[in-house]
Amino acid sequence: MGIIQKLRILAMLGILGEVHGNLEWTEDSKDSIYFDHFVFSQLWPTTLCLPLDNGTTGGCNQTIRDQWMIHGLWPGKFHTLDVQYCDNTSIFDPTSIDSIREEMKIKWLEWMPANDHDEVLALWKHEWEKHGTCSTSLEILNTQTKYFEKGLQLYDNHNMNKILARANILPGNQYSIEDLLARVGGVLGKRLILHCSVRPGSNTSYLEEIWICFDKSMNLIHCDDVYNFPTDCPREREILYPEYPRNDYNIRSI
Q: Which residues are catalytic?
A: 71, 127, 131
| Amino acid residing at 233 | C
- Could you tell me where the beta strands, DSSP code E, fall in the chain? 37-43, 63-64, 69-76, 111-113, 120-122, 173-175, 193-198, 205-214, 220-221, 239-241, 252-253
Closest CA to 206 of 172, 246, 159, 158: 172
CA nearest neighbour of 46 among 168, 131, 160, 179: 160
Give Cβ neighbours of residue 176 (< 8 Å, ≥ 6 apart): 238, 239
Nearest to 146 by CA among 125, 132, 129: 132
Report how far residue 238's alpha carbon sits from residue 241's, in angstroms, rounded to the nearest whole number.
10
Asked if 97 and 90 touch (Cβ cutoff 8 Å), the reply is: no
**Among 106, 105, 17, 10, which residue's Cα sits nearest to residue 58?**
10
140: Cβ–Cβ under 8 A, 6 or more apart, which residues?
146, 150, 218
The gap from C-alpha 92 to its chain's centroid, in whole angstroms, comes to 18
Closest by Cα among 245, 235, 214, 231 to 37: 214
Q: State how far the Cα of 1 lies from the Cα of 24, in Å rounded to an integer.
A: 37
